Structure 1
Amino acid sequence: MADWIALDRIATRPLPGRAVALTDGHVLDHAAFRDRVEAWRHAFAARVGQRWALYFDDTVAFAAALYGAWHAGKTVYLCGDNLPETVSRLRGEVDGFAGDGFSGDDVVTTASDMPCRRETWTPLDEDTTRLVVFTSGSTGEATALDKRLSQLAREVEALQSTFGAALGDAVVHGTVSHQHIYGLLFRVLWPLASGRAIAPRVFFHEEIVAALDRPALLVSSPAHLKRMPDSLDWSNARMQLRAVFSSGGALPQDAATAASRLLGAAPTEIYGSSETGGIAWRQWHDDAPVWRAMPGVDWRIVDDHLEISSPHLPTRQWWRSEDRAESDGRNGFRLNGRADRIVKIEERRVSLGALERQLLALPEVAEARVLVLPETRTQLAAVIVPSPAGAAQLAADGRRAFARVLHDALASAQDAVARPRRWRFVDALPMNAQGKVREADLRALFRPERPQPHWLSHEEAKADLEIVLDPELAVFDGHFPQIAILPGVAQLDWAVRWGREAFAMPPRFLRMENLKFQRVLRPGTRVRLHLEWQQAKSALVFRYQSEHGAHASGRVIFGEEAA
């Protein structure tokens, strides 16, 4: 195991042979990494501005630019994304940008042929070296948080103190981005300090399986851990994984249990936020694990709210969270939900109020309410009262096209995960006798349109999935009043929708062939759908089966958009 290096001394001198990253199967050592840092230090030092925003797809490229900027005396702004509205907003706060997706005179780049001097540099000052991160806070508006290197250093030291002994020289794999505080700490700063090699980010479960060929730790999220397929061979993971970390949202017990079985390591959940840094951790070794504070973090419960005092905060004063909590009577606490309207969607912090304000700013919208639909995959939904102009557009273009207009209007400020997926358009918001709009009445406007699929296998040209026909599916309404059955048109629609999820298919429907409906499908039935994409024929073949036998089959032919 490599020696520990404090964050302020990561790049003070080159250390040949110390692993920093795995790139294309080769180890990038510290001396080569520091050469990259020096190139960035030189580039930033040549620019007058003090504040620079960074966004890189590659983790090691980001780490080199981060330390290069810090050693040039710059304050770094951590971009959560490089969407046009984000860049436009930051142009009023920073002096320039570095990384991917930027253009203009305010973008700094490195010179690849710059000579490497490899002199010793002065350690960074923990109090004056700064990183600015952004959070929605309690209002949902992007708020800048100024963090000192001392706060980040204490948090990394707490991680090593709590978990480091069991990790050794494990390679650091991750599904989360280093452009957010969780990924920054776990996939950049902690590995650099501990001497653990940083592996390229992985996105798909198949990539995780293929990458685990040596002792490793996995920095993931509930979104990935909740969807781990049984069909993959996880035997290497069970042999190689020394730890699995999850943060960004609560990990349900069934997902934690399944992940433990497949990976051979109980996920360690980290509870915290951009404002607070890491607060506590827990592992699912029992039915209801409590949260235990990280080293140096003190906590108390006041008026059912969790309050903390931490070296990861700007001061040691008590900080009041919007999380409701209760003590377990010993050394831990349990969380009982949020007291504000900030929700987690796919581990992304989303303000329902901010989304409503963005919708109300559109000329097509008179009133808007955004809510969470607690389905198998938690979704955002919006109830809209159109303005006169919006109502005319809705009548002319139809519900689907109008929803797409509103969805796309949010794209410059919100990525796809943080935008509503379900829409309802009404003449007036539903109100009770007291004139209040209740969430229960809003939710009543929505019913599941289709079941959530459980993917059993997914190959290049074949896929199998399983669905359960919930009696509450809206598709059963009125078909038929005496005995509900699943309409054939719904079966065809679902096959095409899930086919598009599984395969890269041409956009245009041409025709159906060999369509057969052999046996009706009733509510409550567990159904298996087999999909096959025949590339040469541009055909999607589907087949519905259950324990009762074959239900439906057919072939759908697709083509490119008409010229």
Structure 2
Amino acid sequence: MVDRKPAWTGLGGVMVALAGAAQTRAVAGAVDARQFVARAAAWRRLFAGAPGQRWALYLDDTAEFAAALFGAWHAGKHVVLPGDTRPETLAALRGQSDGWAGELPDGLVPAAPGTDADAGPDTNWPVLATHDTWVTLFTSGSTGAPGAIDKRLAQLDAEVHTLQQAFGRHFGSETRVLCTVSHQHIYGLLFTVLWPLAAGRPLPAARLAFHEELVAACQEDGSAAVLVSSPAHLKRMPAGLDWPAVRGAVRAVFSSGGPLPPEAAADALRHLGQSPIEVFGSSETGGIAWRQRAVHADRWNALPGIAWRLQDGYLAVRSPHLADESWYVCADRALPAGDDSFVLGGRADRIVKIEEKRISLTQIEQSLAAWPGVREARVVMVELDVGMRVAAAVVLDDAGQAELAAQGRGAVTAALRRHLAAAIDPVALPRRWAFLPALPCNAQGKTTEAMLREVFRRTVPDVRWLASDAVSATATLHVAGDLAVFDGHFPGSPIVPGVAQVDWVMALAPQKLDVPPPQRFARLDTLKFQSVIRPDSDVHLALTWQADTRALGFRLTSDAGPHASGKIVFHPEAP
């Protein structure tokens, strides 16, 4: 059987092509062309009747998202795509849009297919005016608050043409797209929605959140597939899965959103049978260059139609993906590498001021990464009682983890501080530390500042449960010095406030005992605070539950003696 080349329509004519396609043409999973057009028509009618120009859209289902997106564009709306539905994102979104649709709070959604309110397909789909059709995307916020970026459909159309020219050889008409990234960001939007639709290929049926889902998808259907992924996903590939099934199906692997470490690229080649095609770019610039480490090592090659040069040591590009023909200077340092390729020299320093001193957060991260036991490190500014200070999130390698287990958290943080002190001003030494199995990341594989700050809002100590039954439980609590409860209590001599100790009991008891929820709290009885709890100490917690009196007894002790004890009494259940 000869695998025909997919028909290219471009983004302006997507709905024209689908409206005229055979009903049996698959658009995504079990969704055929007729069903997709009908759903897009329902979204178009909904948006056409909605006031305002700028409408925010969030949907997890890829086919439904694509139908809503093109329905909104054909209704003349400017679509705003939030990257997630976190409270901070939604708060910022209110100033960016006139209304919300899809899975956003109180978002507009058309009637379900097949209901009386669903008027069925619509064959009137003019070609979109790509220069007058708009979408707003947001930067990842990996080095600050996410920024809104308006793009014409013409820019996105130029970019999918570029992708087809550079990588279309990896696709036949029957090639499936498997993805681990979200279409709410530019990388996922281009690779999993717009490029497939422009090229007449099916959309991915669903986003794969776990490696096991990728393996299962290839075991169930061994037909040719292309994987659209991210460094966050490719860096964490467990060895024990059925990778031969994946190698038999996957024809190419794409990665974007950040640099893929050499060892992760090698792991992907071993497990997936393909050296990942890394695509370098940003929300502002679109795609700029690409490489495969197995072929190009560190060198980046410009995508078709992209011009680049160095400007004061920084990479500058001119591209049809940009709003105009001007040169755009990136925040990335670069060096020429021959054969019209370049290597990156790192992002421009993120400079902050601490006590009137200019501090490079990039330098701190690079210094941390140079310590023998560190695999990855990111730093962020957090608000403490003494003002804004540096906090460090660190991922240790096997040797670092072994040292952490043997020496303890205090010894490892002290070693890291000594290591940093040789190159970093004392005022910039991290005040908060978090040792994580992996950096937090969003659906695009990006570690944002908001996600890092969330890590350092930790108020409850690490817990190791020792024993438990229906009426009692015991545990050891490690009270790390970087817990947020020490903020303001007290500078120079930090201690755990009494209210925080009670909060610990309320937070930890439900993990082992069938106690009422916190909102049924009635009072504290026989409460005593005998001695203070200081940072970097281990405390023994003992809990007892008396169901008849609805009282939770607790004691906090350590080698230094008793610290606190008392009873938390709960209101009875409502009749």
Q: Does 1:100 align with 2:103?
A: yes
Contact 2:280 2:287 in 1 (8 A): yes
Q: Does 1:282 align with 2:291?
A: yes
**Structure 2 CA distance for aligned equivalents of residues 172 and 558 of structure 1:** 52
Counterpart secondary structure, 2:325 = coil
2:191 corresponds to: 186
Q: Deviations over 1:328-376 (max 9, x none)?
A: 12221100101132xxxxxxxxxx86xx99xx9xxxxxx9989645332
Contact 2:179 2:228 in 1 (8 A): yes
When residues 512 and 137 of structure 1 are mapped into structure 2, their CA distance, relative to the original with a 3 A threshold, is closer
The equivalences for 1:213-232 within 5 A come to 213=221, 214-232=223-241
Instruction: Report how many aligned residue pairs link the two structures.
Output: 408
**Structure 1 CA distance for aligned equivalents of residues 249 and 475 of structure 2:** 48
Q: Does 1:21 align with 2:20?
A: no
1:263 corresponds to: 272
Task: Choose which of 119, 126, 138 in structure 1 pairs with 2:123.
Answer: 119
Which structure would you say has the larger Rg?
A: 2
The equivalences for 1:433-448 within 5 A come to 438=424, 442-443=428-429
**Structure 2 CA distance for aligned equivalents of residues 508 and 173 of structure 1:** 49
**Structure 2 CA distance for aligned equivalents of residues 17 and 559 of structure 1:** 64
The equivalences for 1:131-530 within 5 A come to 131-135=135-139, 140-168=144-172, 169-197=174-202, 198-212=204-218, 213=221, 214-286=223-295, 288-341=297-350, 372=365, 373-374=368-369, 375-380=374-379, 385-387=384-386, 438=424, 442-443=428-429, 510-511=473-474
**Structure 2 CA distance for aligned equivalents of residues 43 and 71 of structure 1:** 11
**Structure 2 CA distance for aligned equivalents of residues 6 and 289 of structure 1:** 33
2:132 corresponds to: 128
Greater CA deviation, 281-290 or 244-253? 281-290
Q: Deviations over 1:503-549 (max 9, x none)?
A: xx999992489xxxxxxxxxxxxxxxxxxxxxxxx89xxxxxxxxxx
2:77 corresponds to: 74
Offset at residue 56 of structure 1 (A): 0.9
Alignment RMSD: 3.9
Q: Deviations over 1:192-242 (max 9, x none)?
A: 122322220011111111012221111111011011000111011110001
When residues 138 and 116 of structure 1 are mapped into structure 2, their CA distance, relative to the original with a 3 A threshold, is closer
When residues 369 and 307 of structure 1 are mapped into structure 2, their CA distance, relative to the original with a 3 A threshold, is closer
Counterpart secondary structure, 1:127 = helix
When residues 260 and 93 of structure 1 are mapped into structure 2, their CA distance, relative to the original with a 3 A threshold, is same
Contact 1:216 1:240 in 2 (8 A): yes
**Structure 1 CA distance for aligned equivalents of residues 164 and 225 of structure 2:** 15
Contact 2:52 2:99 in 1 (8 A): yes
Give percent identity, aligned residues only. 45
Structure 2, unaligned runs of 5 or more: 392-408, 411-416, 439-461, 477-511, 514-540, 546-550, 553-569, 571-575
When residues 304 and 119 of structure 1 are mapped into structure 2, their CA distance, relative to the original with a 3 A threshold, is same
2:39 corresponds to: 36
When residues 73 and 271 of structure 1 are mapped into structure 2, their CA distance, relative to the original with a 3 A threshold, is same
Contact 2:465 2:475 in 1 (8 A): no
**Structure 1 CA distance for aligned equivalents of residues 299 and 268 of structure 2:** 19
Counterpart secondary structure, 2:36 = helix
Q: Deviations over 1:21-48 (max 9, x none)?
A: 11xxxx3112211111000001011112
Counterpart secondary structure, 2:7 = coil
**Structure 2 CA distance for aligned equivalents of residues 228 and 557 of structure 1:** 40
When residues 387 and 47 of structure 1 are mapped into structure 2, their CA distance, relative to the original with a 3 A threshold, is same
Offset at residue 84 of structure 1 (A): 2.6
**Structure 2 CA distance for aligned equivalents of residues 84 and 228 of structure 1:** 31
When residues 559 and 47 of structure 1 are mapped into structure 2, their CA distance, relative to the original with a 3 A threshold, is farther
Counterpart secondary structure, 1:8 = coil
Contact 1:177 1:184 in 2 (8 A): yes
What is the one-letter code of the residue matched to 1:86? Answer: T
What is the one-letter code of the residue matched to 1:7? Answer: L
